[in-house]
Chains A and B, each alone.
Chain A
Amino acid sequence: MLELGWAREDDVVVLTASGDVDLHTAGQLRDAVVSAVGGEDGVSPRRVDVDLAGVPFLNSSGLGALLAGVQEANRLGIVFRVLNLQPPVRRVVEMMGLTEVLDVQR
């Protein structure tokens, strides 16, 4: 089960996820990040922050979902950041060398 929340303040969107991101739920996260980047009304924000504080597990499908967000953000020229990684998630992101690509914040 993955729960997703969405908040927009001025030109920043904060997407919060909570639950495991795996083969079953990664599609939900991918759709959410891509639509957050695109802007719900077609007006892209200046920045998207994906808050993963509530995500204790994320596998390669989850990394793929986040990278889809990065790709879309690069296309539209907006900032895409990932925040609040739990230790197991931080570990896989670092292991795959994606800390910079995902612009992981402390």
Chain B
Amino acid sequence: MNDVGNAAPQPGSSDLELAAIELRLTAGSEYLSTVRAVAADLALQRDMTLDEVDDLRLAVDEACSMLVPLAVPGAELRCRFSLAEREIRVRCSVPVSTPELPPTDGFPWQVLMTLADSVRSEVERGTADGDVVWIELAKQKVDRA
């Protein structure tokens, strides 16, 4: 996996996944408050600062808010939270009828890029759930001596 090329810990190397939580819910805007609550709770559990908690909550919300309108009606939104020592990585995905990436020229993408330490998005064709679009973001904990 080729991710951000800086000094940040890479998944699969020093920053091993300690635990993972997956949420599955109907891809509707009315349920995004639940995703936000889970994101904030996990960030607090991982001892992130209040700003980092706010950033993760908003980043996950923005990612899901871009995916929900693309989802096949009635489909499932999945959010997998991967917890490591230094970061939380979240992959949100929905099955789509048109295999296109979310627009990267709007406000939501801009906010997401500002909040998260890394962001990726891909379309996967012909999975067991059909065509799936995902957005993956990572938020790192700031070193606090």
Given A91-B54, A96-B111, A59 contacting B65 (CB threshold 8 A): yes
| Contact between chains at B111 and A24 (CB < 8 Å) | no
Total A-B residue contacts, Cβ distance less than 8 Å? 56
Chain B binding surface SS class: helix
CB distance from A30 to the nearest CB of B (A): 13
| Contact between chains at A96 and B110 (CB < 8 Å) | yes
| Contact between chains at A60 and B114 (CB < 8 Å) | no
Most buried by B among A60, A61, A87, A96: A60
| Contact between chains at A57 and B57 (CB < 8 Å) | yes
B136 at the interface (CB under 8 A from A): no
Determine the chain A residues whose CB is within 8 A of the CB of B33 once the complex forms: 20, 22, 24
Q: Chain B: which residue is nearest A27 at the CB level?
A: B29
Determine the chain A residues whose CB is within 8 A of the CB of B61 once the complex forms: 22-23, 57, 59
| Contact between chains at A60 and B111 (CB < 8 Å) | yes
Number of contact residues on A: which range applies? 10 to 19
Q: Chain B: which residue is nearest A92 at the CB level?
A: B58
Number of contact residues on B: which range applies? 20 to 34
Chain A binding surface SS class: helix
A95 at the interface (CB under 8 A from B): yes
Determine the chain B residues whose CB is within 8 A of the CB of A92 once the complex forms: 58, 111
B30 at the interface (CB under 8 A from A): yes
| Contact between chains at B108 and A60 (CB < 8 Å) | yes
| Contact between chains at A24 and B29 (CB < 8 Å) | yes
B51 at the interface (CB under 8 A from A): yes
B36 at the interface (CB under 8 A from A): yes
Give CA–CA (A88, B54) in the complex, Å. Answer: 6
CB distance from A84 to the nearest CB of B (A): 17
| Contact between chains at B110 and A59 (CB < 8 Å) | no
User: Which residues of chain B have a CB within 8 Å of any CB of chain A?
Assistant: 29-30, 32-33, 36, 50-51, 54-55, 57-58, 61-62, 65, 68, 106-108, 110-111, 114-115
